[in-house]
Chain A
Amino acid sequence: MRNVTNNENVNTNAFDSRSGIKTLPDKYYYLDVQLDFGENLGKKQPVFTKELVKLSVTNAVKKLFGELGSATIIDVIFLDQSTKKIILRCPSVFHVKLHSSLTLATHYEGHECYFRVHKTSNTLISLNCNSRLYNFAQKE
């Protein structure tokens, strides 16, 4: 609650006065999401397009955060058919809300589904390297 409701106060200044380093304004946030249908998916594969993904994402946001939440502009900027990977873009003050409504979404096109968020970042390129996917298995 503390963080979500105070999101509007997030510092979006282009200039960080403490460090003196000029940074780009964090206008957008990018989420690397993969749709996970589990192992026992039926024979009928769901249709997978940008429009349908956006529809289900917006519905999930609308359910949790109402009309004010669903009015936020959310874009599907990348979609991969084979791996079911999508990249979403939203305003940076909204990314906590979007992330949590994706976590609580359960269905995509009538199929039980889990929107797994691999990484969130405010730059698109840093989605490419994800330290959570490193495998620390010992080599012998």
Chain B
Amino acid sequence: MNTVQGFCDFNIPSQCSPTTTLKDVVLRAVKLGYGAIAINTTIDEDVLIITKKKGNKKNEAIEEKKDIPPPPKLNFTEKDLDLIKIHGKNVKILHRLTVMLSDPANTQKLIQSVNTKSYDLIAVCPTTSAAFLHAAANMDIDIITYHPTEVKELRFNRKHYRQATERGIFFEIPYSFMLRDSTIRKKIIQMSHLYHSIGKSRNIIISSGALTPLELRNPYDVANLGLLLGLTEGESRSALNLSGRSVALHAITRKTGKCVSFIVETDKLVPEEQWKAKEMRDAEERLLGEPEPKKMKMETAKI
């Protein structure tokens, strides 16, 4: 199963700055100790509007495929993959789609598109209050993110925030914007304090949005930055690992429906999870065979 472990950074833009490559950024993130990374593809709203217009024509399916791009393919060499395995055990690389949304009416095409389903995570960046409310109340998404330059002003209250958190949607604070400009930094701090005062900082994840490798920060540094953004020590730690896991699990439920357990045949397990099959076999042997000597010892010791 596609679970996520360790520190998560769910916002690494696929369009990074021209001086570096995406590979460099990803490798640096792995070196810093992140256990799960999401490659982010951002699309504008007009992509959705075009599909709406052309949807009336006959060749609807072909047009849609052109519009929402499929997730970018990563071409890592064998050597790079080895490096990834050594530093963190299971580095998960997910794909994430972020939609800039200003009008709630355009969301239908997003859900229907075939390519949307090939992304692991779906995020929405509402640029107006109406879009925010719609995203929090009705849309089937994982993350609501915030873009300091595109978004003018968001107005929402405690009820809307709670609606979103009850449906398992997480709010994202991208920290690399804070490194670039002074006014943007103020906006991000202000927004996260707003999350703190309105929603008690529930369901917050902190991610990077880094365009260059040097904009990435150590997960422990980011956790400390969380204290500045109105989170407590525990909240900011869980904003990096536990909440990231919840986001990933929430994303899986979109594909499977609501469930609590997962059943896979032991022969078809991925190599990383082969140990589970072995453990199962051992446990079966133990149960069928004689009672364990260890247990006997414990009982005698008690007497």
Q: Chain A: residues with CB nearer than 8 A to chain B?
A: 1-4, 36, 38-40, 63, 96-97, 99-100, 102-104, 106, 112-114, 116-117, 132, 137
Q: Is the interface of A mostly helix, strand, loop or mixed?
A: mixed
Across the interface, which residues of B come within 8 angstroms of A63, CB to CB? 182
B138 at the interface (CB under 8 A from A): no
The reply to whether A1 and B86 contact each other, CB–CB distance below 8 Å, is no
B221 at the interface (CB under 8 A from A): yes
The reply to whether A1 and B224 contact each other, CB–CB distance below 8 Å, is no
Tell me, in angstroms, the Cα distance from A2 to B195 when the chains sit together.
Answer: 13
CB distance from A70 to the nearest CB of B (A): 16
Across the interface, which residues of A come within 8 angstroms of B214, CB to CB? 36, 38, 106, 112-114
Q: From B155-163, B228-236, B259-267, give the one contacting chain A.
A: B228-236
The reply to whether A100 and B227 contact each other, CB–CB distance below 8 Å, is yes
The reply to whether B218 and A38 contact each other, CB–CB distance below 8 Å, is no
Q: Chain B: residues with CB nearer than 8 A to chain A?
A: 19, 33, 86, 178-179, 182, 185, 193, 196, 212-214, 216-218, 220-222, 224-225, 227-230, 232-233
The reply to whether A103 and B196 contact each other, CB–CB distance below 8 Å, is no
Contact of B228 among A1, A112, A117 (CB under 8 A): A1
Contact of B221 among A2, A113, A117 (CB under 8 A): A117
Residue of A nearest to B28 (CB): A38
The reply to whether A116 and B230 contact each other, CB–CB distance below 8 Å, is no
Residue of A nearest to B89 (CB): A136
CB distance from A89 to the nearest CB of B (A): 17
The reply to whether B86 and A100 contact each other, CB–CB distance below 8 Å, is no
Across the interface, which residues of B come within 8 angstroms of A106, CB to CB? 179, 214
Q: What 4 pairs between A and B have smallest CB-CB spacing? A: A1-B230, A103-B221, A3-B227, A100-B228
Known A104-B225, A106-B179, A137-B86; judge A2-B232 contact (CB<8 A). Answer: yes
The reply to whether A96 and B221 contact each other, CB–CB distance below 8 Å, is no
The reply to whether A4 and B228 contact each other, CB–CB distance below 8 Å, is yes
Known A38-B214, A63-B182; judge A1-B221 contact (CB<8 A). Answer: no
The reply to whether A103 and B225 contact each other, CB–CB distance below 8 Å, is yes
Tell me, in angstroms, the Cα distance from A55 to B111 when the chains sit together.
Answer: 52
Across the interface, which residues of B come within 8 angstroms of A40, CB to CB? 19
Across the interface, which residues of A come within 8 angstroms of B230, CB to CB? 1-2
The reply to whether A104 and B185 contact each other, CB–CB distance below 8 Å, is yes
Known A3-B232, A63-B182, A137-B86; judge A96-B227 contact (CB<8 A). Answer: yes
The reply to whether A1 and B196 contact each other, CB–CB distance below 8 Å, is yes
The reply to whether B224 and A100 contact each other, CB–CB distance below 8 Å, is yes
The reply to whether B227 and A117 contact each other, CB–CB distance below 8 Å, is no
The reply to whether B232 and A104 contact each other, CB–CB distance below 8 Å, is no
Across the interface, which residues of B come within 8 angstroms of A137, CB to CB? 86
Contact of B217 among A3, A38, A114 (CB under 8 A): A114
